[in-house]
A and B are shown apart, each in its own frame.
Chain A
Amino acid sequence: MLTELTEPTTLKASQPVNLVVNGTPLQLNLLPWVSLLDALRDYSGLTGTKKGCDHGQCGACTVICDGKRVLSCLSLAISKDGSEITTIEGIAPEGDLHPLQKAFIEHDAFQCGYCTPGQICSAIGMMKEGKAKTRAEVKELMSGNLCRCGANTNIIDAIMEVQNQSVHE
């Protein structure tokens, strides 16, 4: 299912990549074409971030990188050298849940749970961007995160609840 690539005579050597993931510095040795997603999942044991398409089409791999939501499958790990990454495992490191995580449970904002890490990271990133004020705007700016189970209305309900709380605080 892949088009044939030009064959290199030798494979390039691994290179050091330094990331700070959920507050912990990680020193990895990676080939240049390893995605940030695979660096987290296969090389750092952080499988909370999910692979749904590997092509930036579904949003399941969304993580927060230097404060912004990014698709980790479309980011080469080497290009994020020195970056601070927050994954779903690091959203609420102290044992308690982030208000959005609580709202997701309360609103039943997931069924299978596979898109959930991406939805939550994306929503936190979106709220930080501060562009979405209305429900319609939130729906629009969350539309890069697909949910196949059809939890859409519950996801938006959960986000709106937390967004309104933080506005009123």
Chain B
Amino acid sequence: MEPYKSQIGQPVSRLEGHLKVTGTARYAGDYSVPGLLYGYVINSTITKGKIISFDTSRAKALPGVLEVFTHENRPSLAWFDLQYADMDAPPGSPFRPLQDADILYNGQPIGLVVAETFELARYAATLMDIEYEEEAFDTDLRSQQHLARSPKIGMATMLKPLPPKPKGNFEKAFNASPNQVSAEFFHGTEHHNPLELFATTTVYEGKGKLTIYDKTQGTINSQMYVANIFGLKFKNVRVISPYVGGAFGSALRPQYQLFLSVMAALKLERSVLVTLDRHQMFTFGHRPPTVQRTRFSADNNGIITALNHLAIGETSRFEDYTEVVVNWSHMLYPAANTLMQYKLVELDVYSPLDMRAPGGVTGMHAIESTIDELAHKSKIDPLQLRLTNYTEIDVSLNRPYSSKELRECYLQGAEKFGWDKRNPEPRSMRRGNKLVGYGMATGIWEANQLPAKAEAILTGDGKLKINSAVTDIGTGTLTVMTQIAADELGLPVEDVEFAYGDSKKPFAPIQGGSFTVSTVGSAVKAVGAAMRKKLFSIAKKMKGGVFDGTDLRDVSFEGGRIFITNNRSRSVSFQEIIVANDNKPVKLSKFSVPSILKLKKYSRAAHSAVFVEVEVDEELGVINVTRAVTAVAAGKIINPKTARSQILGGMIWGISKALREETIQDDGLGKYMNQNLSEYHIPVHADIHELDVIFVDEKDTVVNELGTKGVGEIGIVGMPPAITNAIFNATGKRINQLPIHFDMLL
């Protein structure tokens, strides 16, 4: 028999691939349930004020319309804010759909039509007679900056630390430095726009029991939310969500279609599907607009002397949504004098919501553009400036990194890209009528781990099943968890089944923050190790005494057998062990908890170095990212195929943020104007050219048992500044507002 080949590190193709290419993977809105009713949401057309009257009679008169729910006839619900909170709720009072007549933002859900068909529900929703009393509102961040204040502190602050305290004397050091750069940045609103419309199918099972197919990044998060608000027993609410059509943070919080679908199902005692339309996908959660100001300085040797970074982000009137925007520069550059500030402005909008690398991609654009300008002013190569200021420790918190192979990222990325061929002089490289520019930037993203539980069952056929409530939002969770479990027991991936996306299974937190592999993977590894121990202890008691005088360290698990490592003729199969266990499957579960005391001594982050080439049409200003290389240090890469796809996806998101996507707001109306996919631009195939990914070797024995840091977000972080820096190199123009359009370069 061939020795066991470790599955960790193998480019295993997605195990659910067959279901996804044949249309058999079922998403939240794909469940045909007998007698299913269709809900269609009615949204506010004003931005702030009150509903004075809400006449639904024309809709209700239509045969086939069962009910129109509004704030006037909704069932009585939970009273306390805490009951509406979820795992990603910022400090404040969570939004309550159909709570009362108050309108808090444009597009707020104010009613739900439920009808026998989708077409009828949609038509009936146009027959509402609603009178509003409008009030004055503000939705413009830039004009309201004078109202910026410090954010409230709450549970969310644990994963989103406040800015570090000032160090040295920023003003004095900045003013004394020979090379100074200051800049102001503006990022507009963005919406996640996963391709799947938010949908919830609530199956009414009778006797207060519900099975809910929800678009979510956390089955237990949705379960907890529904049970708390509707006063149901946890065990009577089952949330199932194995296939999620993209989320990018948008499904970290339960959204209003879940609430409305459940409310209607309970009241009508029928199964109800509520799907939002694309327009409504702009009525909950978004990346907040943010204003940033940076002032960085360096001495004549390129040593950075002072860093000041101020960010002012938008939040709603009811919650203090925060991001980590300004903490990054001092984690990368060890200046002696720093001043970091983060503030919020309350506006009449819905609460912002984590969107791929929240805060990081915002802050790093400002930081890495300012560093590029500092290099330009100091006449130092931008890569050299970063190497000159390279730090092995996180100076902002004065602690070492658990691992940091960023230097290797810089070197390998530069080599692959051909950075040495760059002419630092703007407008000096061209290809026909196109100006060519090279730009680079650094990326950084935190590596966190949360608690999670996993269950393992070894059955009579010698196969292993692992259970977890976690979702797979397209990141490859199913495949990666299967590989981790396979390695623990030395099984081929075919003999491991990972069952997931179900709130009935053991606890997993919401899937986000690039922490799922570290979190759920650690639990899978722990339960796999426990299973190994248990199987060996049963095997030791078996007749024949194969393992007499040995302990766990003397044996290996390979291909469904336990061998004595130094004497492979002595072995027992998993099937024989199950027979010896009175033919009962071996079943156990393990909770994995991060070792906080150990972790506190280190900063933990994934890093990247990004190199970009752009072409800019000199006459038309049209910008094209012709090639890009991202070198990533993210600890152990469990599956290089799916991890590469995560980084590629992040890079394309970076191109989108720099050059395409933006939600355009009309502050006179207080509403978003491009609530559709033809005017909310994301890159199409024709926009995407050569993209390269390098994974740099990085061993980390601190971050968690697997040594993983997560790859969901690091791919986007460095991309926008690398692009804007390349545009500067091509054109000599430093545009600090994203996205950059051709007209800004004319």
Q: Which residues of A contact B126 (CB under 8 A)?
A: 2-5
Q: Which residues of A contact B20 (CB under 8 A)?
A: 110, 113, 116
Quick check: which of A64-72, A145-153, A161-169 contacts chain B, the rest being far away? A145-153
Q: Please determine whether B280 and A42 come into contact, CB atoms closer than 8 angstroms.
A: no
Q: Which residue of B lies closest to A34 (CB)?
A: B119
Q: Please determine whether A92 and B686 come into contact, CB atoms closer than 8 angstroms.
A: no
* Distance A48 CA – B245 CA, assembled complex (angstroms): 12
Q: Which residues of A contact B691 (CB under 8 A)?
A: 153
A101-B22 CB under 8 A given contacts A51-B197, A146-B682, A152-B683? yes
Q: Which residue of A lies closest to B244 (CB)?
A: A112
Q: Which residues of B contact A146 (CB under 8 A)?
A: 195, 677, 682, 684
Q: Which residue of B lies closest to A102 (CB)?
A: B21
Q: Which residues of B contact A139 (CB under 8 A)?
A: 685-686, 688
Asked whether any CB of chain A lies closer than 8 Å to the CB of B123, the reply is yes
Q: Which residues of A contact B211 (CB under 8 A)?
A: none
Q: Please determine whether B246 and A108 come into contact, CB atoms closer than 8 angstroms.
A: no
Q: Please determine whether B14 and A1 come into contact, CB atoms closer than 8 angstroms.
A: no
Quick check: which of B426-434, B554-562, B647-655 contacts chain A, the rest being far away? B647-655
* Distance A70 CA – B476 CA, assembled complex (angstroms): 30
Q: Please determine whether B677 and A52 come into contact, CB atoms closer than 8 angstroms.
A: yes
Quick check: which of B25-33, B257-265, B316-324, B338-346 contacts chain A, the rest being far away? B25-33
Q: Please determine whether B649 and A151 come into contact, CB atoms closer than 8 angstroms.
A: yes
Q: Which residue of A lies closest to B20 (CB)?
A: A113
Asked whether any CB of chain A lies closer than 8 Å to the CB of B571, the reply is no
Q: Please determine whether B683 and A58 come into contact, CB atoms closer than 8 angstroms.
A: no
Interface residues of A in 94-112 (CB under 8 A from B): 97, 101, 104-106, 108, 110-112
Q: Please determine whether A38 and B17 come into contact, CB atoms closer than 8 angstroms.
A: no
Q: Which residues of A contact B16 (CB under 8 A)?
A: 113
Asked whether any CB of chain B lies closer than 8 Å to the CB of A18, the reply is no
Q: Which residue of A lies closest to B192 (CB)?
A: A148
Against A, the Cβ 8 Å flags (1 = close, 0 = not) of B452-469 are: 000000000000000000
Interface residues of B in 218-245 (CB under 8 A from A): 243-245
Q: Which residues of A contact B247 (CB under 8 A)?
A: 112
* Distance A151 CA – B651 CA, assembled complex (angstroms): 10
Q: Please determine whether B277 and A155 come into contact, CB atoms closer than 8 angstroms.
A: no
Pick from A112, A142, A151 the residue with the most CB of B within 10 Å. A112
Q: Which residues of B contact A5 (CB under 8 A)?
A: 123, 126
A-B contact count (CB 8 A): 194
A89-B246 CB under 8 A given contacts A57-B677, A108-B641, A148-B194? no
* Distance A151 CA – B31 CA, assembled complex (angstroms): 26
Q: Taking chain B's interface residues, is the majority helix, strand, or loop, or is none over half, making it mixed?
A: loop
* Distance A53 CA – B293 CA, assembled complex (angstroms): 37
Asked whether any CB of chain B lies closer than 8 Å to the CB of A78, the reply is no
Interface residues of B in 653-703 (CB under 8 A from A): 653, 676-678, 682-688, 691
Asked whether any CB of chain A lies closer than 8 Å to the CB of B278, the reply is yes
Against B, the Cβ 8 Å flags (1 = close, 0 = not) of A8-50 are: 0001000000000000000000010110001001100111111
Q: Which residues of A contact B120 (CB under 8 A)?
A: 11
A97-B18 CB under 8 A given contacts A38-B118, A55-B676? yes
* Distance A154 CA – B8 CA, assembled complex (angstroms): 22
**Which size class do B's interface residues fall under?**
35 or more
Q: Which of B21, B31, B195 contacts A112 (CB 8 A)?
A: B195
A11-B197 CB under 8 A given contacts A111-B649, A140-B686? no
Q: Which residue of B lies closest to A91 (CB)?
A: B22
Q: Which residues of B contact A1 (CB under 8 A)?
A: 41-43, 45, 107, 277, 279-280
Q: Which residues of B contact A31 (CB under 8 A)?
A: 117, 119
* Distance A3 CA – B127 CA, assembled complex (angstroms): 9
**Nearest chain A CB to B592's CB is how many angstroms away?**
26
Q: Which residue of B lies closest to A30 (CB)?
A: B119
Q: Which residue of B lies closest to A100 (CB)?
A: B21
Q: Which residues of A contact B19 (CB under 8 A)?
A: 113
Q: Please determine whether B196 and A52 come into contact, CB atoms closer than 8 angstroms.
A: yes
Q: Please determine whether B127 and A7 come into contact, CB atoms closer than 8 angstroms.
A: yes
Q: Which of B32, B193, B195, B476 contacts A47 (CB 8 A)?
A: B32
Q: Which residues of B contact A2 (CB under 8 A)?
A: 122, 125-126
Q: Please determine whether A149 and B677 come into contact, CB atoms closer than 8 angstroms.
A: no
Asked whether any CB of chain B lies closer than 8 Å to the CB of A79, the reply is no
Q: Please determine whether A150 and B649 come into contact, CB atoms closer than 8 angstroms.
A: yes
Q: Which residues of B contact A152 (CB under 8 A)?
A: 648, 652, 683, 685, 688
Q: Which of B62, B123, B195, B688 contacts A52 (CB 8 A)?
A: B195
Q: Please determine whether B645 and A108 come into contact, CB atoms closer than 8 angstroms.
A: yes
* Distance A2 CA – B123 CA, assembled complex (angstroms): 9
Q: Which residues of B contact A116 (CB under 8 A)?
A: 20-21
A42-B118 CB under 8 A given contacts A112-B195, A149-B246, A155-B685? yes
Q: Please determine whether B651 and A150 come into contact, CB atoms closer than 8 angstroms.
A: yes
A150-B685 CB under 8 A given contacts A1-B279, A49-B23, A101-B21? no
Q: Which residues of B contact A89 (CB under 8 A)?
A: 22-24
Asked whether any CB of chain A lies closer than 8 Å to the CB of B13, the reply is yes
Interface residues of B in 34-84 (CB under 8 A from A): 41-43, 45, 58, 62
Q: Please determine whether A154 and B22 come into contact, CB atoms closer than 8 angstroms.
A: no
* Distance A143 CA – B685 CA, assembled complex (angstroms): 5
**Nearest chain A CB to B13's CB is how many angstroms away?**
5
* Distance A144 CA – B30 CA, assembled complex (angstroms): 23
Asked whether any CB of chain A lies closer than 8 Å to the CB of B642, the reply is yes
Q: List 15 A-B contacts (CB under 8 A).
A: A1-B41, A1-B107, A5-B126, A48-B22, A50-B195, A50-B245, A51-B197, A51-B275, A52-B195, A54-B277, A58-B677, A101-B21, A111-B645, A147-B685, A150-B648
**Which residue numbers of B lie inside 8 Å of A, CB to CB?**
13-14, 16-27, 29-32, 41-43, 45, 58, 62, 107, 117-120, 122-123, 125-127, 193-197, 243-248, 275, 277-280, 473-476, 641-642, 644-646, 648-653, 676-678, 682-688, 691
Across the A-B interface, give the 10 residue pairs with the lowest CB-CB distance, nearest first.
A48-B23, A114-B245, A112-B474, A150-B649, A150-B652, A113-B20, A111-B474, A88-B23, A47-B30, A105-B17
Given contacts A11-B62, A88-B21, A113-B21, 12 further A-B contacts (CB under 8 A): A1-B45, A5-B123, A52-B278, A89-B22, A104-B17, A105-B17, A108-B641, A110-B20, A112-B196, A139-B685, A139-B688, A149-B246
